[in-house]
Amino acid sequence: MMTIPLAIDTDVEQAEGQAESILELPLVRDDMRLVLFHVFRADDEGADARKLNSVAAALERLEAAGFDVEVEQSSGDAVQEILDEAARVDADVVSLAGRKRSPTGKALFGSVSQDVVLKSDQPVLYETTDD
């Protein structure tokens, strides 16, 4: 069984792009484990990733295409939490999304996606959107 966690941010367009990138791959749906994973900035007992529009949009697209999809969440440092989730689910590939940014923008603001790509033990499927 192949396992792909999709690190879903709050951006609906990015989440839809991630779902579409999965749908474009030649995957056997019955042999797939997809995990939508959102990292909240703060630990809030009432937080529910399923209530985020981005997670709901990706979940709807993937389920409509016949995938069984899990939704998981965490809070804390996004990079570390994504890497930990990938290890926890024994990921074969990690799916990320981000915006196209200039090198200066990356240097000034950092990039969760960039850090995950550089630190991940698994291959990373990276979907970009324009600002």
What is the pTM (predicted TM-score) of this model? 0.90
Q: What residues does each domain of the chain span?
A: 2-129
- Can you tell me the distance from the alpha carbon of 120 to that of 8, in angstroms, rounded to the nearest whole number? 16
pLDDT at 65 exceeding the cut of 70 = yes
Q: 């709807």: which residue's tokens? A: 60
If one compares 111 and 71, the residue with the highest pLDDT of the two is 71
* Residue 61 pLDDT level (bands cut at 50, 70, 90): very high
Of the CATH numbers 3.90.650.10, 3.40.50.720, 3.20.20.210, 3.40.50.620, which one belongs to the domain with range 2-129?
A: 3.40.50.620
Residue 107, pLDDT above cutoff 80: no
Averaged pLDDT of the chain = 90
Cα separation, 109 vs 114, in Å, equals 11
pLDDT score at 102: 66
